[in-house]
């Protein structure tokens, strides 16, 4: 059987062209992107992608939160379409692939399907979407557009979100001309949703694998700790009389590493923030603020990690004579993608001759929102050195094409389902 | 035998009066001091103390670095005098006792001796000194005035020291009118030097003891570490692929605590500074800067601690795959005070009915410089809650008087030595 394949060169050229809008050049030739949501750069990026959609004759619709959906019709106009997509906003020091690949890869899938002989065109329509403010780098929360798309946040609430400068999301959406008229949440759920994305981590590269078959998104538990002890002179205070919040913070950092190792599997634990006060060489600190980021694909295991972490804090507070205030910054349960759709991604990639690895996503994606309303899966391709949210983010042309080929064939199979 | 005693009320009133210059009031009634070296507040403080010296008819001399020495003559004018003293500069958020107690206590000792019947006046003269810039809070290094006094730094080099704003020490010394004409280093060493000081730590209070018999000053080893790993996404980077400088910093903090416990004795280990970059909740840090402060009264044990610390760094750098740059910020060998003078402090305090504890000083003092040129000892009195370099620094009137009484009787014994 001859498989249908995308035009990898055309896809790569679109990634390059979109990447020139808001381009950020690095000292070593890195080419990153800064297209924060609803800025003028975001508008220019949107205009370019919409022009490509329109050139293909797609039906482009924009909803009340600025999500853009472009649809090609299938042989059966009454059948729910298969949706692909992602986002085109970036973080301030972002790359050209995160999000953009899923949108432009989806556009490439549609252009390829449009070129097929009429009898090979799928039964269902295929639409490609880009969702507003996935990064959350300007307006919180992240994945805002897809959250509204699936009805989990009202348009009104989303429009009233303010950025750090007090600027209202709705005003910026109007200013860039992307406050659309389509109802939101969408009236009808897609038949299925598939998102192509760069891994943003080192696992595929480390394993020498081309296609990541994403089984779901990790649950996230973020805690901020404020540890208060007794500031003291580093020379005159014997060890036994200390109440050192810096030592406690360190023991927690070491402890959650051990906890992650004990629990194993997908469990990760990260201390990303840590601030000593007064932060002087010869003073035992008075207060330390730190964060602990725990993630697992399994809710029970994540709760086990949280319980172990809480016990660690209580034990250390008692033994060192410090107080620990805990504040939950974020808590999301894990999301599992649809088994059949995940299997379809895996079997399709293998049929096309690619090596595969089943893996969870450690980062959040629009797909986890769409999973609330339809069968959903994701396709990952490798990130060089595991870098993302970094202007050095890079995925090779061959891997980009491989991912788009898998997306194409998965979409074709889904779109021909009854 | 009736012991001679100071006038505790007069001493306390002088502490209060000097403390009103550069006073810093806290929200809970704390009364601290900010008299940074060679500022206008320092000048006012110097003028007040010099006026008291002059009122007592003492011979006041000022040397080329601004050290002030006031002398009463003894029965034998050819005998080297006993010197007492300390400093009257403070840190920016200092207290009223640190340094000031040693100077005003010394003045009180002299005033008491001057009031004795002629046949009880000591054979040797007694002088009281305050040394320039002991705190080093404005001009580095600390103990600068006494360092120059003993000839370990030239006056010229000291006058050329700049503060953080680029202001030259010599210019400031001229501006406040304290560039004196006495030669420096001093031509003749004192017969002995004794310094009364607040403990600045919690040991005496914790032990319920009034008088600390100071046996020496701890050696100090300060190291700054810059640990460089690989910044990575907290969600997408498995534990086994991490190179986390934050984890390494934490393991070093926990490791030096264990090292201090293993070595025991006077060994202390402190991580006072720790800074994560980029310091974000969901990013494994790229770089962490931290300091490690190791102190011991025994040079061999301090070297053992340094070696253990270096091995810890090397092991962790290898196991986690990070690089660690080490920079020495300070290194001083321990100082041992004169055995006979230390014994004299102890026996005198006990004869006066005070509880005593032999202890090292964890902080640096002018006494450690004077120890280079004459037999030296120190007397400590308790610091409430161990606080110092803090506007809440406090020592009770009873303990202040006890310390001055010990100083008086030690000085009297030394001044009658052949």
* C-alpha distances out from residue B180 to B62, B64, B385, Å: 5, 5, 39
- The CA distance from B285 to the nearest CA of chain A, in Å, is 6
Level-2 CATH architecture, domain A225-332: 2-Layer Sandwich (3.30)
Among candidates B222, B233, B279 on the partner chain, residue whose Cβ is nearest the Cβ of A363: B233
Q: Write down the pLDDT at residue B197.
A: 98
The pair of three-digit structure tokens given for residue B284, joined into one six-digit string: 């494994």
User: Cβ distance B35 to B103 under 8 Å?
Assistant: no
Q: Check pLDDT > 80 for residue B368.
A: yes
Residue B405 has pLDDT above 70, yes or no: yes
Query: What secondary structure letter does DSSP report for A387?
Result: -
User: What would the mean pLDDT of A322-337 be, rounded to a whole number?
Assistant: 94
For a pLDDT cut of 70, what percent of chain A falls above it?
Answer: 100
Q: Is A239 on the interface with B (CB under 8 A)?
A: yes
Whether A237 and B388 lie within 8 Å, measured CB to CB: no
Q: Is B272 on the interface with A (CB under 8 A)?
A: yes
Question: Residue A51: its pLDDT value, please?
Answer: 98
Indicate the residue of A203, A236, A271 with minimum beta-carbon distance to B200.
A236
Q: How far is CA B369 from CA A145, A206, A395, B217, B243, in A?
A: 69, 59, 63, 10, 45
Nearest-Cα residue of chain A relative to residue B262: A239
Check CB contact under 8 Å for A271 and B250: yes
Of A222, A283, A291, nearest to B272 by CB-CB distance is A283
Return the exposure string of A304-331: e unless at least 16 CB atoms fall within 10 Å of the residue's CB, then b: bbbebbeebbeebbeebebebeeeeeee
Across the interface, whether the CB atoms of A234 and B206 are under 8 A apart is answered no
Give me the residues paired with residue A336 across strands. Answer: A216
Among the partner residues A233, A244, A388, nearest to B362 by beta-carbon distance: A233
Please, which residues 381-400 of chain A have a Cβ atom closer than 8 Å to chain B?
A: 386, 388-390
- Contact between B363 and A284 using a beta-carbon 8 Å cutoff: no
Q: What is the mean pLDDT of residues B128-133?
A: 98
Probe site for chain B from A233, A284, A328 (most B CB atoms < 10 A): A233
Nearest CA in chain A to B265: A238
Q: What is the pLDDT of residues A369-400, one digit of tens each?
A: 999 999 999 999 999 999 888 899 999 999 99
Other beta carbons within 10 Å of B240: 8
Residue B380: strand pairing partners:
B197, B212
Rounded-to-integer distance, Cα B73 and Cα B82, Å: 10
Predicted confidence band of residue A87 (pLDDT cuts 50, 70, 90): very high
Q: Answer yes or no: is pLDDT of B298 > 80.
A: yes
B chain contacts of residue A238, beta-carbon cutoff 8 Å = 201-203, 268
Indicate the CATH number of B8-217+334-415 among 2.40.10.220, 3.30.70.2200, 3.40.630.10, 3.10.20.30: 3.40.630.10
Predicted confidence (pLDDT) at residue B2 exceeds the cutoff of 80 = no
* Domain range list for chain B: 8-217+334-415, 219-332
In this prediction, residues B285-293 reach a mean pLDDT of 97
Q: Does CATH place domain B219-332 in 3.30.70.360?
A: yes
Q: Which of residues 295-334 of A touch B (CB under 8 A)?
A: 295, 329
Range B31-52 average pLDDT: 97
- The confidence score (pLDDT) of residue A54 equals 98
Question: Which run of H or of E encompasses A212?
Answer: strand A211-217
Which residue of A137, A203, A224, A238 to mutate against B (max B Cβ within 10 Å)?
A: A238
Shortest Cα–Cα distance, A241 to chain B (Å) = 8
Q: Among all residues of chain B, which has the CA nearest to that of A273?
A: B279
**Architecture of domain A8-217+335-415 in CATH?**
3-Layer(aba) Sandwich (3.40)
% of chain A with per-residue pLDDT over 90: 89
Using the Cβ of A218 and the Cβ atoms of chain B, whether some distance falls under 8 Å is answered with: yes
Contact A247 B271 (CB under 8 A): yes
pLDDT of residue A39: 97
Contact (CB, 8 A) for B62 and B52: no
Distance separating alpha carbons of residues B279 and B24, to the nearest angstrom: 34
Give the pLDDT of residue B332. Answer: 87
The pLDDT tens digits of the residues spanning A220-232 come to 999 999 999 998 8
Q: Which residues face B222 on adjacent strands?
A: B293, B330
Assess whether pLDDT exceeds 70 at residue A141: yes
**Would you say A271 and A290 are in contact if contact means Cβ atoms under 8 Å apart?**
yes
A26-33 average pLDDT score: 92
Partner A contacted by B25 (CB < 8 A): no
User: Could you tell me the two tokens for A187?
Assistant: 């009236």
**Average pLDDT over chain A, rounded to an integer:** 95
Say which of A222, A252, A274 has its CB closest to residue B274.
Answer: A274
Q: Do B219-332 and B8-217+334-415 fall under one CATH topology? A: no
Give residue A140's pLDDT band: very low, low, confident or very high (50, 70, 90): confident
Mean pLDDT along residues A280-297: 94
User: In the predicted model, what is the mean pLDDT of chain B?
Assistant: 95
Share of residues in chain B with pLDDT > 70 (%): 100
Are A232 and B202 an interchain contact pair (Cβ–Cβ within 8 Å)?
yes
pLDDT at A306 over 70: yes
Give B 87-146 residues with CB within 8 A of chain A.
none
Task: State pLDDT tens for residues B162-211.
Answer: 998 999 999 999 999 999 999 988 888 999 999 999 999 999 999 999 99
What is this structure's pTM?
0.84
User: pLDDT tens, B245-275?
Assistant: 999 999 999 999 999 999 999 999 999 999 9
Mean pLDDT of A252-261: 98
Predicted local distance difference test score (pLDDT) of residue B381: 98
pLDDT in tens, B223-251: 999 999 998 889 989 999 999 999 999 99
CA of B51 to nearest chain A CA: how many angstroms apart? 34
What is the per-residue pLDDT for B140? 85
For residue A2, name the pLDDT band (cuts at 50, 70, 90): low
A246–B281 C-beta distance less than 8 A: no
For residue B67, pLDDT beyond 60: yes
| pLDDT value of position B164 | 87
CB of B343 closer than 8 Å to CB of B356: no
Report, as an integer, the average pLDDT of A280-300.
Answer: 94
Q: How far is A174 from chain B (nearest CA, A)?
A: 32
Rounded average pLDDT over A97-120:
96
Residues in A closer than 8 angstroms to B239, CB to CB, are 257, 260-261, 267-269
B199–A contact, CB cutoff 8 A: yes
């Amino acid at each position: 059987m001859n498989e249908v394949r995308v035009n990898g060169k055309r896809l790569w050229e679109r990634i390059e062209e979109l990447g020139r809008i808001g381009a950020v050049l690095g000292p070593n030739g890195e080419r990153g992107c800064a297209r924060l949501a609803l800025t003028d750069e975001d508008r220019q990026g949107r205009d370019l992608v919409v022009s490509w959609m329109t050139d293909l004759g797609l039906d482009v619709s924009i909803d009340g939160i600025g999500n853009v959906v472009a649809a090609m019709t299938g042989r059966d106009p009454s059948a729910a379409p298969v949706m692909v997509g992602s986002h085109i906003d970036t973080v301030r020091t972002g790359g050209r692939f995160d999000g953009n690949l899923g949108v432009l890869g989806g556009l490439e899938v549609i252009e390829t399907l449009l070129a097929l002989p009429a009898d090979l065109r799928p039964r269902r329509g295929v639409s490609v979407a880009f969702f507003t403010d996935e990064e959350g780098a300007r307006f919180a929360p992240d994945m805002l557009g897809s959250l509204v798309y699936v009805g989990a946040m009202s348009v009104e609430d989303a429009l009233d979100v303010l950025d750090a400068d007090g600027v209202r999301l709705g005003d910026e959406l109007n200013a860039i001309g992307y406050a659309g008229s389509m109802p939101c949440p969408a009236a009808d759920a897609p038949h299925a949703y598939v998102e192509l994305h760069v891994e943003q981590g080192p696992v595929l590269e480390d394993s020498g694998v081309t296609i990541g078959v994403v089984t779901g998104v990790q649950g996230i538990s973020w805690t901020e700790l404020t540890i208060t002890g007794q500031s003291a002179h580093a020379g005159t205070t014997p060890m036994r009389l200390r109440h050192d919040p810096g030592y406690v913070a360190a023991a927690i950092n070491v402890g959650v590493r051990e906890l992650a190792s004990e629990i194993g599997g997908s469990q990760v634990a990260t201390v990303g923030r840590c601030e000593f006060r007064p932060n002087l060489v010869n003073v035992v600190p008075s207060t330390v603020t730190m964060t602990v980021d725990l993630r697992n694909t399994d809710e029970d295991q994540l709760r086990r990690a949280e319980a172990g972490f809480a016990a660690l804090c209580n034990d250390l507070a008692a033994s060192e004579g410090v107080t620990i205030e805990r504040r939950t910054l974020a808590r999301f349960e894990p999301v599992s993608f649809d088994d059949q759709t995940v299997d379809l991604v895996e079997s399709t990639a293998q049929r096309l001759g690619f090596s595969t690895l089943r893996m969870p996503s450690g980062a959040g994606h629009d797909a986890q929102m769409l999973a609330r309303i339809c069968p959903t899966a994701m396709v990952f391709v490798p990130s060089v050195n595991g870098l993302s949210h970094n202007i050095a983010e890079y995925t090779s042309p061959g891997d980009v094409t491989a991912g788009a080929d898998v997306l194409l064939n998965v979409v074709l199979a889904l779109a021909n389902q009854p």
